[in-house]
Structure 1
Amino acid sequence: MMAKNSKNLFSEENLNVEPIQRAKTIPSRWYFEPDLFEFEQHYLFQNHWQYVCHENQISEVGDSYTTNIARNPVIILRTADHEVKAFFNVCKHRGGPLAVKKGTKTVLQCQYHGWTYLDDGSLRGIPDWNLVELFDKKDFGLEPVEIKVWQGLIFARISKTTPELSSLLSGIEKRISPINLGDLQFHSEHVYDVECNWKVYVDNFLEGYHIPIVHPELANLLDYREYVTETQTWHSLQHSPFKAQESMYSQNGGEAYYYFIFPNMMLNILPGRLQVNTVVPVSPTKCKVIFSYFYDDVEAKQKSGLIDDDIAYSHDIQLEDVEICEAVQCGLQSRAYDQGRFSVKREQGVYHFQSLLKNEFRKAIQKS
């Protein structure tokens, strides 16, 4: 629940969704208020699907991947039947973390006191437990987490009150066809720590308005005049053709597709390459951004140097984004700013995201 002294964060004026031509941006306090940050963890991130990893990152029996969803630790596992399953990464003894037990492929073992679980979540073994009374192993199995796989990407949710994954991703598969993201191979993961609220980073991603000023190199790559933003119920798409000049991207033809899936995931799709960005809230004024890279022919592109060039180019763009986002965070916390306005032509994506936030906050308040 929100603290009483912060209830004015959710005034009717702040939650009202006006047409973009008249709308104001969300209040500056939403970018640094501790009570709102806690509210988001409980009512937003626990109530929406979160991207975890790609199937080929856990391709072999016993492979696992761990993450956190709104501070809830989760482990994804490839079982003996080659299925993908997920559990809260929490031992039912005293809350310790789990990992695949050494010498096995599918037995999970608590890294605190050694309790072991089978890959169906059932409790298998307990050291030094023979004197305990009124205890049934069936009551102490791992808590499952719901997962779904789309185009090779694994999503998890810990609350069934969320929209269905199909509604979040509706239309994307058809739009990017014949590209199949499930055919791409995982290459690497890079993490950036950013001194800004997670929404600052999302706002920045959702508009090309800043490209000519902040990213001059990117402006030379994309045809900014043809840069378009489209919005759907739970996601938005920014896309642009490449300029005619030769580049490591334009040589294969096609377009750049920049998808945002509410509340905090991006799919950057270019010919032969996928970059997944996940924006993870850390504190009211800090976030981390996880970049995961996938390619259609890792070995050949690694030998040619294309992957190194791509990651280096993306890294330079990211450093520019980090610098401006951190500067914006300072501006949002200053006495000089509270709410701004939107460019109807260039900031449809930001308006769409902030409108979804308002609607989700309103629903959460009504339920709380």
Structure 2
Amino acid sequence: MTRKPRSVDDVRAAIFAAADLPLERAVTLPPEAYVDPGFFQLEADTVLAGGWICLAHVSQLKAKGDYIRLDLLDEPIVVIRGRDDEIRVLSRVCPHRGADILHPVFGGPNEGNEKILVCPYHRWSFEADGALKGCPEMDRAEGFEKSDWRLAPFRHEVWEGFVFVNLSGDAAPLAELYAPFREMIAPWRTAEMEVVIELKWDCAFNWKIMVENWIESYHHLGIHHTTLNPSMPAATTWTDEEQGHFIRCHLPFTPKVGAEVAEAARTGDAMGGFAPVPGLPLDRQTEWGLYLGLPCFMFLTARDRVIWYRLLPQAADRCALLTTTLVTKAAKDAPDYADVLAAETKMLSDFHMEDMQVNAAMQAGLKSSKVVKGRLSHLEQPIWHVQRYLARALSEGIAEAAQ
């Protein structure tokens, strides 16, 4: 018998019900939460637009005029460093007739340097702070004032070197939401690190499939059984108690690998990878720290690097992903840096390719009429935390819409 699809209201109710269960009875969400366009629109309007989405790291925007072109939930966005050295998040929509001034059809790059942004349609030009600079043949427009016609800004914050946007404009400050998160990652001094690896992925699956796969390590014993599980076994991973606005997981190394790391830290010897981040406590060196700043800021700490994932939800069955590695400036100056960079780029690509494969398989399976309500392992506790966050965000969105 074919399963009858749930309505958006039914999906929302199912999420509330799942979030109310204790971890020992935790279940998966209904498939419509991952495949239904109507539910994705609700989610986009509440969970995603109402939260903070990470767009860039400051090291990707070093010079005045450096910009990154992005699309997020149908909003054409440019992240750009101005002449005043400030980073801003602006709309790419020209206030004249509404054209996307950096649309890919014009052939420009996704990243570049332009101290002046020019709309190809009628040559209106804008400073990197959004101010209108030039507007040909507008001298006969009665009451026209250049200062009234800017590229619209989006609310943004730079947190620990990462540039976030809040599309709704009314989220609580990141300093408030992520205060304990900041303390946990403070030893890495991420604002001073630099992005040295960028891998782009076009993902034919829902954004939550990526988030849930990434934040639980149960799948180390499956798809990562030859890449990650030998050094960080699924069975020994564990998750902090619920934090509210972020999730923290611990992926400890095996005793053998942990002892090797401890010895290298004691003697100062290299043991592969980049030059270590200085000053890290030993217990932070002998595990990977996995963090999810809700809704979708994916962040990983290791003894020699930080790995950050830029996830941009696009549709019920599509998201854009950039996987990056950040290291210290000292690591870039090491004599073997070029060789290490090549090896670590391959490593990052290899185990992420495994994730891309299972995520695509998940999206395909969730479209089936035979999908059933699954049960979660205790090792999937982070997914349960995600469910509880979704329920809260959806509930708050409903309350705000009713006002």
TM-score normalised per structure 2? 0.82
Q: In structure 1, what residue type is equivalent to 2:123?
A: G
What is the SS of the residue equivalent to 2:370? coil
Question: Is residue 242–residue 250 contact of structure 1 (8 Å, CA) maintained in 2?
Answer: no
Q: Secondary structure at the match of 1:346?
A: helix
Q: State which of 287, 296, 300 in structure 1 corresponds to 2:334.
A: 300
How many angstroms does 1:106 deviate by? 3.1
- CA offset at residue 304 of structure 1? 4.8
Counterpart contact for 1:249–1:271, Cα < 8 Å: no
Say whether 1:47 aligns with 2:57: no
Shift in alpha-carbon separation, 1:302–1:153, aligned structure 2, 3 A: farther
How many Å apart are 1:142 and its aligned residue? 2.0
Deviation at 1:209, TM superposition (A): 0.8
Aligned to 1:91: 94
Compute the displacement of 1:273 (Å): 1.3
Aligned match for 1:227, one of 224, 237, 246: 237
The aligned counterpart of 2:161 is 152
1:109 matched to 2:118? The reply is yes
1:31, CA displacement in angstroms? 0.9
SS at match of 1:144: coil
Distance 1:250 1:19, change over 3 A: farther
Partner of 1:15: 16
Worse-superposed segment, 299-308 or 31-40 = 299-308
Aligned CA distance change for structure 1 residues 282 and 78 (closer, same or farther; 3 Å): closer
Q: CA deviation at 1:10?
A: 2.5
| Cα deviation, residue 251, structure 1 | 9.1
Q: How many Å apart are 1:157 and its aligned residue?
A: 1.5
Determine if contact 1:268/1:275 at 8 Å carries over to the other structure. yes
Matched residue type, 1:364 = G
Q: Aligned match of 2:302 in 270, 274, 279?
A: 270
Give 5+ residue unaligned stretches, structure 2.
1-5, 103-107, 261-270, 277-281
8 A Cα contact 2:209 2:359, kept in partner:
yes
**Mind listing any 5+ residue stretches in structure 1 that lack a counterpart?**
none
Letter in 1 for 2:303: P
Matches of residues 137-286 of structure 1 in structure 2 within 5 Å? 137-216=146-225, 217-230=227-240, 231-243=242-254, 244-245=256-257, 248=272, 252=276, 254=285, 255-286=287-318
Amino acid at match of 1:24: V
Q: How many residues align?
A: 360
Question: Is residue 348 from structure 1 mapped to residue 360 from structure 2 by the alignment?
Answer: no
Whether the aligned pair in 2 keeps the contact of 1:87 and 1:145 (CA below 8 Å) is yes
The question of whether the paired residues in 2 share the 8 Å contact of 1:25 and 1:341 is answered with yes
1:133 is paired with a residue whose SS is coil
Alignment partner of 2:345: what SS?
Answer: helix
CA separation of 1:197/1:120 partners in 2, compared to 1, >3 Å: closer, same or farther? Answer: closer
- Partner of 2:350 in structure 1? 316
CA drift at 1:236: 0.7
Question: Which segment drifts farther, 162-171 or 184-193?
Answer: 162-171
Task: Supply the distance in 1 between the matched residues of 2:195 and 2:94 (Cα, whole angstroms).
Answer: 30
CA distance in 1 between partners of 2:236 and 2:342 (Å): 28
Shift in Å at residue 208 of structure 1?
0.9
Bigger Cα displacement from structure 2, 141-150 vs 169-178: 169-178
CA shift, 1:281, in A, is 2.2
Residues in 2 aligned to 1:358 and 1:82: alpha-carbon distance in whole angstroms: 39
Q: Which amino acid aligns with 2:394?
A: F
Match of 2:266 in 1: none
Cα contact 1:168–1:262 (8 A) shared by 2: no
Aligned letter for 1:65? I
Corresponding residue for residue 82 of structure 1: 85
TM-score by length of 1: 0.89
Which residue does 1:326 correspond to in 2? 360
8 Å Cα contact 2:55/2:310 also seen in 1: no
Give the deviation of 1:359 after TM superposition.
1.7
Tell me if structure 2 keeps the 8 A contact 1:147–1:157. Answer: yes
2:63 is the counterpart of 1:60: yes
Give the distance between the partners of 2:299 and 2:215, measured in 1 at CA.
12
Out of 354-363 and 298-307, give the one that drifted further: 298-307
Change (3 A) 1:232 1:66: same
What SS does the aligned partner of 2:334 have? helix
The offset of 1:21, in angstroms, is: 2.1
CA distance in 2 between partners of 1:278 and 1:43 (Å):
20
Deviations 1:247-271 (A, max 9, x none): 6359956021111111112012212
Of all paired residues, the percent bearing the same amino acid is 25
RMSD: 2.5
TM-superposition CA deviations, 1:278-298 (whole Å, max 9, x none): 222232222222112211122
